[in-house]
Structure 1
Amino acid sequence: MRGGRTGKPKVTLAAKRAKFGGCRNALEHRVRQQLGAEFEYETTRMPYTIAHHYQPDFIDPIAKRIIEVKGRFPESDRRKMAAVRKQYPDYQIEIRFSNPDTLISKTGTQTYRTWCTKHGITATKA
């Protein structure tokens, strides 16, 4: 199997691990040999959170309504709005789009509106 533009054979992760005693690379293998048996190699997944701040375009804090205005709705904004929806379930969130029926991707069928509906967010035309 050839990989990328270089034409060099593509090395699989399994092949790398076999070469480096179960590790991904030579440096990790060397450190593994220096550590005691009490250390496990990549056996645990640890979730973490990076704190961000969200500043809504418009907010009615008494009625707990958020209005966001969007032309484009890239993946980073979708991820942010999904997180806001999850963390503020008592707020009504509405996104007013220039065109809520815009497809998220050229090859897909999901629109901004269908994404919002799926995530409990109201989508309307601005």
Structure 2
Amino acid sequence: MPRPFPKRTSTRQNAVAKGFRSGLEDKVAGELDRASVPYTYESFKITYEIPARLAKYTPDFRLLGNGIIVETKGQFVTADRQKHKLIKEQNPELDIRLVFSRSGTRISKQSQTTYAMWCETHGFLYADKSIPQAWIDEPPTAGRMEALNAILNSQSKVKK
């Protein structure tokens, strides 16, 4: 018997159809588009070293006007937290900020630490659900732009 209503698609399915990995990424991209903020999505990789091996990380968004890197997170699992600590240690001039679905979520059932508390402890700026307008309006800094350009330039040399 045919369905009386069309099959519903999930937020994630809609986001994936647009080229994103999550509904939150799709939402943030839509907000940036509506605000006419130029950005790139997963357009470059940051190399960092996990003890005993080299790894690469592809940030979600890079705000073109000021060089701020924004990573959106629904779940912030141990591997992601370790990765971001290593990247920050190895690239201290990069400005990576996190947008969570809910920063008040605990990092585990056994822990009192929330995503927000972890960010504050480790020196990451964070927000809930959307990129704050203040981040978009923030002017670029020389250190941030130099660090970002060094990564982008090293990748363009490798591709040639």
Counterpart of 1:106 (choices 102, 105, 109) is 109
Gaps of 5+ in 1: 1-47
Aligned equivalents of 2:52, 2:120: Cα separation in 1 = 26
User: Is 2:93 aligned against 1:90?
Assistant: yes
TM-score computed with the length of structure 1 as normaliser: 0.58
User: Is 2:119 aligned against 1:116?
Assistant: yes
The one-letter code sitting in structure 1 at the alignment partner of 2:122 is H
Corresponding residue for residue 49 of structure 1: 52
Aligned equivalents of 2:52, 2:124: Cα separation in 1 = 23
Change (3 A) 1:84 1:50: same
Percent identity for Structure 1 against Structure 2: 34
TM-score computed with the length of structure 2 as normaliser: 0.46
Deviation at 1:61, TM superposition (A): 6.2
The one-letter code sitting in structure 1 at the alignment partner of 2:63 is D
Deviation at 1:88, TM superposition (A): 1.4
Give the structure with higher Rg (CA): 1
Aligned equivalents of 1:67, 1:112: Cα separation in 2 = 15
Change (3 A) 1:64 1:90: farther
Gaps of 5+ in 2: 1-50, 130-160
Name the one with the larger helix percent. 2
Cα RMSD after superposing both structures:
1.5
Q: Deviations over 1:104-126 (max 9, x none)?
A: 11121100011111111112101
Deviation at 1:63, TM superposition (A): 3.0
Check conservation: 1:58, 1:66, Cα contact below 8 A: yes
